[in-house]
Structure 1
C-alpha cells in the first residue's frame, strides 16, 4: 500500500486534497469496471447544518458548492482542481461573519458541476 508521501510525490496536485482531508473533508472515489478512479467526490458537513461539496472529474474539471440545510445554494465555484481547492480553503467557516448566507438558488439533488 502506498503512503501519503509516495502518492504525493507521484501526483503533487493531490497535496491540496490532503489539506482538505486534514481539515475534516470526507472523500469517495468512483471507479470504472477496471478499478480505475474516474472521479472523486468530497463532502464536509458543518455543525450548523451547512455542507460543502466537491466534485473532481479531472485536473481541469472541478467544482464545489456550499449549501444550507434546506438545499439552498450559498456559494459555488467551478474551474481547475487548484482553483477550486484554493477557493474552498479561503471560504470562511459557516459561523464566520464573512461567510456566504444569501441563498442564490437551489443546489441540485445529485450535484455535479456543469
Structure 2
C-alpha cells in the first residue's frame, strides 16, 4: 500500500480530481486526526476509521464506508456517546469540524448511548 508520504503531487491531484470528497479527510488530517484504514484480504481499503482525542478522555471518531455512508460520534471518558450522526462524508466532517470542544459550555455533555465494551478472551 502506498503511504501518504510517497504520493507525488500529480497522484494527489489525480486522486482529488476523481474523488473530491477526499479533501474532507485531508482537512481532518491537517486538524490532527489519526487514520486507521480497514483492508480486505487483497489489500483494498474497505473502510476508514479516524479519531481525535481531547484532554480529559474525550474522543471524536469517524467511520467512512463510502462518500454516502459515514458516521461521526463523540465519547466521554467512560465511553458514553454524547453526540452521534450518520450521513455523507462531507456532512459528517462538517459537523465534526464545527462541534464545540468538549470543554465548551455549548458542547454536548449528556450521554445518549454507551459504546460496546471490547472483550479480550
User: So what's the TM-score if we normalise by structure 2?
Assistant: 0.83
Instruction: Using the TM superposition, give the Cα deviation of residue 6 of structure 1 relative to its aligned residue in structure 2, in angstroms.
Output: 4.4
For structure 1, the residue ranges without an aligned partner over 5 or more in a row are none
1:36 counterpart = 2:44: yes
Residues of 2 paired with 1:7 and 1:109: CA distance?
37
Task: Give the Cα separation in 2 of the matches to 1:107 and 1:24.
Answer: 23
Residues 69-104 of structure 1, C-alpha deviations (whole Å, 9 max, x = no match)? 101110001011111111111101111111111111
Where does structure 2 lack aligned partners over 5 or more consecutive residues? 1-5
Match of residue 83 from structure 1: 91
Instruction: Tell me, in whole angstroms, the C-alpha distance in 2 between the residues paired with 1:39 and 1:109.
Output: 21
Q: 1:51 aligns with which of 54, 59, 69?
A: 59
1:65 to 56, 70, 73: 73
1:5 CA drift (Å):
4.1
Return the alpha-carbon distance in structure 1 between the equivalents of residues 106 and 55 of structure 2. Answer: 17
Structure with the bigger percentage of helix: 2
Moved over 4 A (4+): none
SS in structure 2 opposite 1:34? Answer: coil
Q: How many residues align?
A: 110
2:7 is matched with 2
